[in-house]
């Protein structure tokens, strides 16, 4: 009888402990903006066990209604006042999916409340805004992450590992070439609410240079362990002024390092979607095809192909789960890895210099 009672007490205690532990690990998320073409990700495949959606801020009621109908959202989740939403629902983290120019305001409101932030790429429209966001994050001890689709590509991490862990075989990096983009946002049929700000030089910060130049700058910074470039040279074009009269649709950016060079080819003129790269070392190269497929060769050997596996590389392929793990302390991002604030401040330095170079028609030296 006593043993049975003790067993029941132990089982009850274990249940209560596991319930408390689960409650501690469950993260409350709020969406801030729905106009980004990537905002459906959370609703369609990103929300998992351990995540609770407590509120959604979207000032455009027609966009909010569209999401409400599409995903069966409760009316109580929807807000048009960001400050009020955060005060009333008290999320642990916010997912920012509006115009890039609005990222700073989201951090201004969330950071003093101790709310962590993940924004869609890039971090900001300008280097000045990015620096203000970084200061707010540091002052209020919050995580400020930037999500890129390529951050959760196993192929991206595998390229990094090749040159970081097998330098004897591949040698130091000498050249990096990045191909990112597609046929153009209008051509691929993005929603009108997304197209409106994506092609606005103020709301997006530029055209293809910003939209896809940031991918190459982000991965390049990771591969170079955060090294600051010496200079940046960029050329931009608008080949389709009838579609994109206010922004560039083509950009080539050369990033000059002390012992290597990066070339970013960002375009709204590719014949199809591209997110691939080539990295050349002193004695070998790695060329990716997509998120998993890549081929590589080292001097004296034949080229080989492989498929990078997320599980083996410990790559989280769900950015929202990655954010949740960072918030609860299960994951600590490495310095200058793709999501980090350190990396994305460097990205903004590169993009800022690229814009200046394209405008001035000359090489821009980065200041310490």
Strand partners, 147: 120
Check residue 195 and give its pLDDT: 98
Coil/strand/helix, residue 173:
strand
Q: Residue 18: pLDDT above 60?
A: no
Cis peptide before 308 (omega within 30 of 0): no
Q: Which of 292, 286, 334 is nearest to 310 (CA)?
A: 292
pLDDT band (50, 70, 90) for residue 23: very low
Tell me the pLDDT tens digit for each residue of 152-197: 999 999 999 999 999 999 999 999 999 999 999 999 999 999 999 9
Angle (CA) 316 281 255, round 5°: 80
CA-to-CA separations, 292 to 286, 315, 318, in angstroms, rounded: 13, 12, 15
Tell me the pLDDT tens digit for each residue of 199-233: 999 999 999 999 999 999 999 999 999 999 999 99
pTM: 0.92
- Give Cβ neighbours of residue 115 (< 8 Å, ≥ 6 apart): 86, 91, 92, 93, 94, 142
Q: What distance in Å separates the CA atoms of residue 157 and residue 135, rounded to the nearest whole number? A: 29
Q: Which residues of 187-196 are buried (b: 16+ CB within 10 A; e: fewer)?
A: eeebbebbbe
| Domains of the chain, earliest start first | 19-148 (3.40.50.720), 150-318+334-365 (3.30.360.10)
pLDDT band (50, 70, 90) for residue 13: very low
Check residue 25 and give its pLDDT: 76
Residues 312 and 211: beta-carbon distance below 8 Å? no
- Give Cβ neighbours of residue 25 (< 8 Å, ≥ 6 apart): 50, 328, 330
Q: What distance in Å separates the CA atoms of residue 183 and residue 124, rounded to the nearest whole number? A: 24
Check residue 368 and give its pLDDT: 76
Coil/strand/helix, residue 187:
coil
- Residue 141, classified by CB atoms within 10 Å of its CB into exposed (0-12), middle (13-18) or buried (19+), is exposed
- What DSSP state is assigned to residue 117? E
């Amino acid at each position: 009888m006593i043993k049975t009672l003790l067993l029941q007490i132990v089982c009850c205690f274990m249940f209560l402990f596991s319930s408390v532990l689960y409650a501690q690990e469950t993260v409350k998320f709020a969406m801030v903006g729905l106009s980004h073409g990537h905002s459906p990700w959370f609703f369609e495949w990103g929300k998992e066990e351990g995540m609770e959606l407590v509120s959604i801020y979207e000032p455009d009621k027609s966009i909010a209604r569209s999401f409400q109908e599409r995903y069966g959202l409760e009316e109580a989740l929807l807000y048009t006042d960001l400050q009020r939403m955060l005060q009333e629902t008290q999320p642990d983290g916010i997912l920012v999916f509006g115009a890039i120019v609005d990222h700073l305001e989201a951090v201004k409101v969330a950071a003093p409340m101790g709310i962590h932030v993940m924004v869609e790429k890039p971090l900001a429209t300008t280097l000045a805004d990015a620096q203000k966001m970084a200061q707010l994050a540091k002052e209020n001890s919050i995580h400020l992450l930037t999500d890129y689709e390529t951050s959760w590509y196993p192929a991206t991490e595998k390229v990094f590992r090749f040159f970081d862990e097998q330098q004897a075989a591949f040698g130091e990096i000498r050249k990096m070439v990045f191909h990112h983009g597609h046929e153009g946002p209008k051509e691929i049929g993005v929603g009108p609410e997304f197209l409106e700000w994506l092609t606005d030089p103020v709301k997006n910060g530029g055209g293809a240079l910003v939209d896809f130049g940031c991918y190459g700058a982000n991965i390049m910074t990771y591969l170079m362990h955060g090294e600051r470039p010496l200079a940046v040279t960029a050329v931009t074009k608008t080949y389709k002024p009838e579609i994109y009269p206010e922004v560039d649709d083509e950009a080539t950016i050369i990033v000059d390092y002390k012992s290597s060079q990066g070339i970013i080819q960002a375009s709204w003129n590719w014949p199809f979607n591209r997110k691939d790269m080539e990295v050349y070392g002193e004695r070998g190269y790695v060329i990716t095809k997509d998120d998993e497929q890549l081929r590589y060769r080292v001097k004296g050997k034949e080229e080989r192909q492989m498929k990078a596996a997320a599980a083996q590389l410990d790559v989280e392929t769900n950015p929202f789960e990655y954010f949740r793990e960072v918030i609860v302390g299960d994951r600590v991002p490495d310095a200058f890895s793709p999501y980090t604030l350190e990396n994305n401040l460097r990205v903004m330095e590169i993009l800022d210099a690229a814009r200046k170079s394209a405008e001035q028609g000359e090489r821009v030296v980065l200041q310490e």
